[in-house]
Amino acid sequence: MTLQRRQFIKASAMAAAGAALAANSDTSAKAERAVDPTSKSPLPAISDVKWDKAPCRFCGTGCHVQVGVKDNKVVAIAGDRQADVNKGLLCVKGYHVGLALYGKDRLTKPLLRRNGKLVEITWEEAIDTVAKRILKSPKTFAIYGSGQWTVPEGYAAQKFIKGGLANNNIDPNARLCMASAVTGFIGSFGVDEPASCYDDLDVCDTVITWGNNPAEMHPILFSRIIDRRSRGQKVTLIDIGTRKTRTTQYADHYFEMLPQADLALTNGIAHLLIKNNTYDKSFVEKYCNFRADADESKPSLKGASITFERYKEKIAPYTPEYVSKLSGISVEKIKFLAELFADPKQKIVSLWCMGVNQHTRGTAVNNLIHTIHLLSGHFGKPGDGPQSLTGQPAACGTAREVGTLAHALPGGRLVAKPEHRAQCEKLWKLPAGRLNPKPGTHTVLMWEKFCTPKGAEKNVDTIWVQVTNPGQTLPNAHKLFLNKKKQNDRFLIVSDVYPTATTELADLILPAAMWVEKNGIYGNSERRTQQWFKMVDPPGDARDDCWMTIAVAHRLHELGHPGMKDKDGQFIFDYRDANNNPLDIWKWENYYKTNVDRLLYEEYRPFTHMKHKNVAPYDELVKARGLRWPVVETKPGKWTETRWRFTEGYDPFVQKGKGMQFYHSVSDDDRALIWFRPYTKPPEVPDKEFPFWLCTGRVVEHWHTGSMTRRIPQLQRAMPSAYIEIHPDDASSLGIANGNTVTLETPRGKLNLPAWVNGRGHPPRGSLFVPFFDESLPINELTLDAHCPISKQPDYKKCAARISLASSEAK
Amino acid sequence: MMSQPPNNPIESDHGDPSDQRAGFTSLFVTLALTIAATGYFVGLRQESNRQRFEPTNTSTDNATNNHITTGLDLAKPYHQMAAINTGPNRDWKNHLRNAVPSNLNALQSFDPSLRKLALITRASTRAYEGAPPLIPHPIDQTSTASCVACHTNGKSVGAVTAPKMSHPLYANCTQCHVESNSSFSPNANLLTDNSFQPLRSPGPGSRAWPGAPPTMPHKTWMRQDCSSCHGPLAQKGLQTTHPWRANCTQCHVPDATLEQPRFNPTPLPKLR
C-alpha cells in the first residue's frame, strides 16, 4: 500500500517532469547539468555573480534591471528594487532581456556584398568603404537611426552628418512611432515631451486608454494602475479602442469606436463641455489661448490664433448625435465622458501610444487630447493630466531630445532657424554658416527616394542604418524598401546585431555591440535620463555604433573632407585628456580607455538648456536610477529632478505666483493652446472589393520586429508566429476555422497567415488585426504609407483589406 | 478552501530499487543531504506556475471584498515598495500554518532522487534562477480570473498540482508569465539556438555544522510565502520535512548578499 502510493507519487512526478522536459529539452539538459552534483561543468552559482544596474533594453517605460554577470557573460536578470519606475518588478520581456545577447547567429564580422555574396572584410576595409562612399557624394548620403540609439550614439551621428557633412538627411525610426506626439506637444505647448509623469498613475481616479493596450505594451505601468485595486482603491479604467485587448478585460467601460473617430469623439467632449458650461473657466482664462488652422484643408503645426467665440462656432457641429454617427459610440456614452471631464474632483490620466500617433491625423488627435484636458482643467496636478507613452527606450532621450530628425538640431532647435544654427555652430566650434538651413528627408521620403530610379536630382543613394530594422517596419514595404533591389546604384549600410529583413538587402553589414556590451544612456517616456556601464564584451569583432560613426568621420578627415574639421582646424571628434594629450577615440583600442559616453554627453548637455530640458550631469546619472529633467542644482552638489513640468512648486523654471506657466508657449504669453482640429475621413476606407478594416500592432512577448525577442526561447515558444485575428461571425461566414490559413490582401500586397479566432484580441465584425513582429510574415508589405501632413508619421492602424480561406485549405 | 494533496508524507527510501541512486559515493550522499536540508525550508522551486489576481473588470468594490475575505497578500503601492518588509513569514498573513493538513504529525523524510527531479523540473520551466516560471499548460488569453481560480491558494487534483503564488497579488498575470509552448501553435520550432548560460542554482544554503538549520540559498523578493514552494502542495523533493513549524525565519535566515539593495559589510571594532 505504502509502496504503491509512493510509486504513484514518484511516477506522477516523473511524468510531470517528463512533460516539462519534452517541452523544453535544451533547457532541461542544461538544468539537469546544473543541479546534478556529478556534472563536470556546473553552471554559474549565485555567489560568483556580479550585479549592476541598467535600464531595460526594450520599451520606453524605462524600467531598471539588475544585470547578473559572471565570466564576462550575463547569467541572470532581476528587477531593480531601487528604481522608481518599476520598484523591482519587470514584464516577461524584461526578465528575459539578458538572453537577447546570446542568439547563436549574432553578427560578429564586417561583411561586404561582392557579386551578390557576403564576404568577411576587416574593420579597416569596412570603415574605408563607408567613408569613400560618402566622399563620392556627401549630399546623397543619409543616416537612418532609431529611438534605440543611446544618447551619445545619436549625438555623434547628429554632429557627424549635420555638423560635419552639412547634410540634414538624418531621421530616426521614431518617425514611425512618436512623431505625432512630438508635433502634438509642440503645437499645444510650444515644446516637446509630457509635462506629467508616472507618479500620476498612483493617485489618479480614472485612466482613459486611447487606442492603447498597456496590459501588453507597457505592462509595468498598467500593473501600477491595476494593482491599486487589489489594495481596495478605486481606479476607473475606460478603454476607448477599435478592438478588445487584454487591457479591456480590466476596464470598467469599453467604448468601441470606428477607426478615425478619435477626431470626432474628442471634439464631441469639447462640444459638451462648452455647451453645458462645464469647462474650467478660470483655468482657460488664465492659462489658455484658442487655435485653429486658417485653412483647414492645409493642416499646420502652429495654425492661427482664434477667439473663444470662433472656437465655439467651430465646435458647435460636434453634437453627441453627430459624433455618435461618426464614431459608433452611443450618445449616452459620449455624454458620460463629457461629464467625467466636467467633474473637477476627478483626477484623470489619459494614456496613448501608437493608436493615436500612427494616424494620418496624428498631430490633430494629440492636440485634441491635450485640448480636452486643458479645457476641463485636468492638467498639471498630481494624478491629473495627459501622458503620452513611447515604444523605444530612447525615443525621448535620443530621437526627441538630441533631435536626430531631418528638421531638428539638438535641444529642441530647428535647422530652419538661423539663431539655432548659429548656437549649434558655436557649441560645436564650427565655422559660421556650416549648418545647412534646409530640412533633410523624413523617413518615408528618404526611403522613397532611395528606392526610386535615378532621375530625381536629389535622390538619396546611400543609407546607413543603425540600431533598427526598416526592412520590416517601413509601411508599404514593396514601395519603400524592397524596390531597392531594382536600383543597382544604391548602397545600403546596416549596423546590427542579428540578421534581419534589412540586412537581407544590405551591401555592407557592420556587427554592433548591444545594450550592456557597451556604455549607454537612454531617456524614457517621463523625461527620465538613465545611464549604464558596459558589463560584458561584445562577441567576435562586434563594436559600438558610436565608435563606427566616429571612425568613419575620422577616415573622411584623413581623406580630406573639409567638414570633418572645426573652425580651428581640429577634427570634430578630437577629445583630449586633462594634460591635453589626444585621446584618439577613433582607434578601437583606445575607445574604452576613456569614457566616451561621458565626453559626448557632457558636450551635449549645454544644448538642453535653451528649452529648459536641463539633463543631469553624467556623474549624477551614475548614482541614480535615472533622473527626470529639468534637473537643476538646488544646493551646491544637490541635483533635483522635476515631476510636473509647468506647475509652480514642482518646476523650478515657473516664476513665483504664476501657478501654471507654459514658458515655451507658441503664442509667447505663457499660455497653452486649445486647438480646434476637424474630423476628416480616413485615407482608405473599406469598400466592396476590400471590405475589412486592417489594424496592426504588437504582443506582450515580442518587442517590435522580434529581432531580439524571437531569439529568446521562452518568448519565441510562447508566441511563435504572427496570426490574424478575426471576429467569430466573420470567420464562420467565410468558412474559416481556428488555425486555418487565411489569405489577406490589400491593394499593396498579399500574405498567408493562420487565423486565430477568440484568441489574444477580439476585433469587432468587419475588422482584422495582425501583429508585425514576425519577419517571415511581413505585414508591412500590406500597410499604407499615407502619413500625417504635419508629423509625417504613417498610419499603420487602418486600411482596407479582404480575406479568404487560402487555396491550400480548400477541401 | 483548498483540496488536499495526496498527503501522506513520503516515506524513507529503504528498499527502493531506484537505479538512479545506485553506486553514488558518500560524497554525493553528503551533498544530497545538504541540498535536502536546504530544501526543506527554502529549496529552489519557488514561483512555479503561480499566477496573479485579477480584480473584477466590472466592479472594484467587489474586488475589494474578495481580497478581504480571502485574506490574500496584496500588491503594495509603488511608492512604498522600496520600504516594505518583503521577507518571508513576516507577519500574520503567512498561511503556511493554515495550509498544513491536520494529520501531519510525523517527521517527513527526504528522498534525494525526488529532490533532483524537483530541481530539474523547476529549472526546466524558467530561463534562469530568478526568472518568472513559464506556464506549462494552455491559458485563457484574456482572463486572469482563470489563473487566480487555481493559483491563489494552490490546488491539487490527482497528479496535477497548481502551485500557490509565492508573491503578493499583482493583477496582470501574463505580464510576467507566458505559455511555455503557445497553445495557438504548440509545435512551432525555435528559430535559432541561444547560447545563454543561465545562473541556475544558488546552491545550498550555508550550515554552521551538519544538522544546523541552513540559511536561505535564494533571495526572498517575490518569494514571500515559503509555503508556495515548501508547503504541502509543493513538489515532493522540495517540501519541508517539518510542516508543523510555521515560523520559518525563526531558524532559517535570508542571505543579505542575495537581496537588494546590497549592503557592503561594515567592519567590526578592533581591539586597540
A811 pLDDT tier (thresholds 50, 70, 90): low
Distance in angstroms (rounded) separating the CA atoms of residues A752 and A755:
9
Chain B residue whose CA is closest to A101: B196
Summarised one tens digit per residue, pLDDT across range A284-308 is 999 999 999 999 999 999 999 999 9
CB atoms within 10 A of CB A252: 17
Cβ–Cβ contact B157 with A under 8 A = no
Chosen for mutation from A717, A726, A756, A776 (greatest number of chain B CBs closer than 10 Å) is A717
Distance in angstroms (rounded) separating the CA atoms of residues A729 and A709:
33
CB atoms within 10 A of CB A759: 18
Summarised one tens digit per residue, pLDDT across range B206-223 is 788 887 888 888 888 888
Q: How far away is chain B from the Cα of A171, in angstroms, using its nearest Cα?
A: 31
Cβ–Cβ below 8 Å for A252 and B60: yes
Which chain A residues have a beta carbon less than 8 Å from that of B125?
20, 24
3-state percent breakdown (helix, strand, coil) of chain A, nearest 5: 35, 20, 45
| Amino acid (1-letter code) at residue A745 | E
Three cell numbers written together for B179: 505559455
Distance in angstroms (rounded) separating the CA atoms of residues A337 and A323:
12
**Could you tell me if A701 and B184 are in contact, meaning their C-beta atoms sit under 8 angstroms apart?**
no
CB atoms within 10 A of CB A727: 19
Q: Which of B6, B262, B15, B171 is nearest to A78 (CA)?
A: B262
Sheet holding A627-628, edge to edge: A520-523, A528-532, A627-628
> Helix, strand, or coil here: B248?
helix
Distance in angstroms (rounded) separating the CA atoms of residues A96 and A91:
9
| Phi and psi torsions of A700, nearest 5° | -65, -35
Cβ–Cβ contact A64 with B under 8 A = no
Average pLDDT over residues A791-808: 95
Summarised one tens digit per residue, pLDDT across range A678-690 is 999 999 999 999 9
Chain B residue whose CA is closest to A14: B117
**Could you tell me if A93 and A703 are in contact, meaning their C-beta atoms sit under 8 angstroms apart?**
yes
> Helix, strand, or coil here: A613?
coil
Chain B residue whose CA is closest to A49: B199
Which chain B residues have a beta carbon less than 8 Å from that of A82?
82, 260-261
CB atoms within 10 A of CB A125: 13
Distance in angstroms (rounded) separating the CA atoms of residues B100 and A327:
56
Chosen for mutation from A714, A719, A753, A769 (greatest number of chain B CBs closer than 10 Å) is A714
Q: How far away is chain A from the Cα of B109, in angstroms, using its nearest Cα?
A: 12
Provide the pLDDT for residue A674: 98
Cβ–Cβ below 8 Å for B178 and A718: yes
Cβ–Cβ contact B26 with A under 8 A = no
Residues 6 or more apart whose Cβ sits within 8 Å of residue A281: none
Summarised one tens digit per residue, pLDDT across range A559-600 is 999 999 999 999 999 999 999 999 999 999 999 999 999 999
Number of H helices, E strands in chain A: 26, 31
Summarised one tens digit per residue, pLDDT across range A78-98 is 999 999 999 999 999 999 999
Sheet holding A64-70, edge to edge: A50-55, A64-70, A73-79
Q: Give the burial class of A590: count Cβ atoms within 10 A of its Cβ; 0-12 exposed, 13-18 middle, 19 or more buried.
A: middle
Q: Which fold has domain A692-809?
A: Barwin-like endoglucanases (2.40.40)
Number of H helices, E strands in chain B: 7, 2
| Phi and psi torsions of A539, nearest 5° | -75, 150
Cβ–Cβ below 8 Å for B144 and A249: yes
Provide the pLDDT for residue A561: 97
Which chain A residues have a beta carbon less than 8 Å from that of B78?
84, 87, 201-202, 224
First to last CA, chain A: 55
Distance in angstroms (rounded) separating the CA atoms of residues A36 and B119:
9
Distance in angstroms (rounded) separating the CA atoms of residues A711 and A687:
40
Provide the pLDDT for residue A12: 46
Which residue is it, cell 501632413?
A: A789
Cβ–Cβ below 8 Å for B178 and A721: no
Which residue is it, cell 465655439?
A: A312
- B164-181 b/e (C-beta count within 10 Å ≥ 16 → b): bbbbbbbbbbbbbbbbbb
**Could you tell me if A394 and A526 are in contact, meaning their C-beta atoms sit under 8 angstroms apart?**
no
Cβ–Cβ contact B112 with A under 8 A = no
Sheet holding A288-292, edge to edge: A304-306, A288-292, A672-676
Q: Which of A582, A513, A475, A415 is nearest to A148 (CA)?
A: A513
**Could you tell me if A801 and A688 are in contact, meaning their C-beta atoms sit under 8 angstroms apart?**
no
Chain A residue whose CA is closest to B68: A232
Three cell numbers written together for A595: 569614457
CB atoms within 10 A of CB A639: 18
> Helix, strand, or coil here: A476?
coil
Chain A residues 670-729 with a CB less than 8 Å from chain B: 700-701, 710-721, 723
Provide the pLDDT for residue B62: 36
Gyration radius from chain A CA atoms: 27
Cβ–Cβ contact A5 with B under 8 A = yes
Average pLDDT over residues B84-92: 52
Three cell numbers written together for B251: 531558524
DSSP A733-798: HTT--TT-EEEEEETTEEEEEEEEETSS-B--TTEEEEES--TTS-GGGTS---B-TTT--B--S-
First to last CA, chain B: 62
Chosen for mutation from B69, B86, B108, B121 (greatest number of chain A CBs closer than 10 Å) is B121
| Amino acid (1-letter code) at residue A45 | A
Distance in angstroms (rounded) separating the CA atoms of residues A759 and A726:
9
Provide the pLDDT for residue A46: 62
| Phi and psi torsions of A741, nearest 5° | -80, 130
Which residue is it, cell 469606436?
A: A257
Chain centroid to Cα B75, Å, comes to: 18
Chosen for mutation from B33, B111, B120, B146 (greatest number of chain A CBs closer than 10 Å) is B120
Q: How far away is chain B from the Cα of A250, in angstroms, using its nearest Cα?
A: 4
- The residues of A assigned a catalytic role are 93, 177-178, 354, 391-392
Q: Out of B35, B53, B181, name the one closest to residue A23 (CB).
A: B181
Cβ–Cβ below 8 Å for B60 and A229: yes
Distance in angstroms (rounded) separating the CA atoms of residues A176 and A363:
13
Cβ–Cβ contact B246 with A under 8 A = no
In Å, what is the CA distance from B47 to each residue of A223, B77, B250? 19, 21, 22
B84 pLDDT tier (thresholds 50, 70, 90): low
Three cell numbers written together for B99: 495550509
- Beta-bridged to residue A582, according to DSSP, are A576
What CATH number has the domain spanning A193-393?
A: 3.40.228.10
**Could you tell me if A495 and A512 are in contact, meaning their C-beta atoms sit under 8 angstroms apart?**
yes
Q: Which of A655, A652, A647, A619 is nearest to A199 (CA)?
A: A647
Q: Which of A444, A341, A534 is nearest to A780 (CA)?
A: A444
Calculate the dihedral angle through the C-alpha atoms of A385, A390, A393, A399, rounding to the nearest 10 degrees.
Answer: -100
Summarised one tens digit per residue, pLDDT across range B12-55 is 334 333 444 444 444 444 444 444 444 443 333 333 333 333 33
**Could you tell me if A227 and B63 are in contact, meaning their C-beta atoms sit under 8 angstroms apart?**
no
Chain B residue whose CA is closest to A714: B180
Q: What is the DSSP letter of A350?
A: E
| Spans of all domains in chain B | 26-51+90-167+175-184+214-259
Distance in angstroms (rounded) separating the CA atoms of residues A604 and A34:
47
Residues 6 or more apart whose Cβ sits within 8 Å of residue A57: A97, A100, A148, A393, A514, A515, A708
Q: Which helix (H) or strand (E) holds A65?
A: strand A64-70
CA atoms within 13 A on the CB side of B86: 24
Q: Out of A45, A252, A754, name the one closest to residue B58 (CB).
A: A252
Cβ–Cβ below 8 Å for A104 and B195: yes
Choose between A667 and B113: higher pLDDT. Answer: A667
Residues 6 or more apart whose Cβ sits within 8 Å of residue B258: A46, B202, B216, B218, B219
Flag whether pLDDT at B109 surpasses 70: no
Cβ–Cβ below 8 Å for B182 and A2: no
Distance in angstroms (rounded) separating the CA atoms of residues A579 and A434:
30
**Could you tell me if A252 and A237 are in contact, meaning their C-beta atoms sit under 8 angstroms apart?**
yes
DSSP A153-205: HHHHHHIIIIIIS----EEEGGGGTTHHHHHHHHHHHSS-S-S--TTHHHH-S
Q: Which fold has domain A130-177+394-591?
A: Rossmann fold (3.40.50)
Flag whether pLDDT at B64 surpasses 90: no
Distance in angstroms (rounded) separating the CA atoms of residues A264 and A269:
9
Cis peptide before A789 (omega within 30 of 0): no
Choose between B72 and A296: higher pLDDT. Answer: A296
Q: What's the whole-number average pLDDT of chain A?
A: 93
Flag whether pLDDT at B102 surpasses 60: no
Q: Out of A35, A73, A92, name the one closest to residue B178 (CB).
A: A92
Which chain B residues have a beta carbon less than 8 Å from that of A217?
none
Provide the pLDDT for residue A386: 97
Average pLDDT over residues B228-240: 86
Gyration radius from chain B CA atoms: 20
Cβ–Cβ below 8 Å for B142 and A762: yes
B155 pLDDT tier (thresholds 50, 70, 90): confident
Which chain B residues have a beta carbon less than 8 Å from that of A223?
75, 170-172, 175
> Helix, strand, or coil here: A387?
strand
Summarised one tens digit per residue, pLDDT across range A359-384 is 999 999 999 999 999 999 999 999 99
Cβ–Cβ contact A741 with B under 8 A = no
Chain A residue whose CA is closest to B57: A250
Average pLDDT over residues A534-558: 98
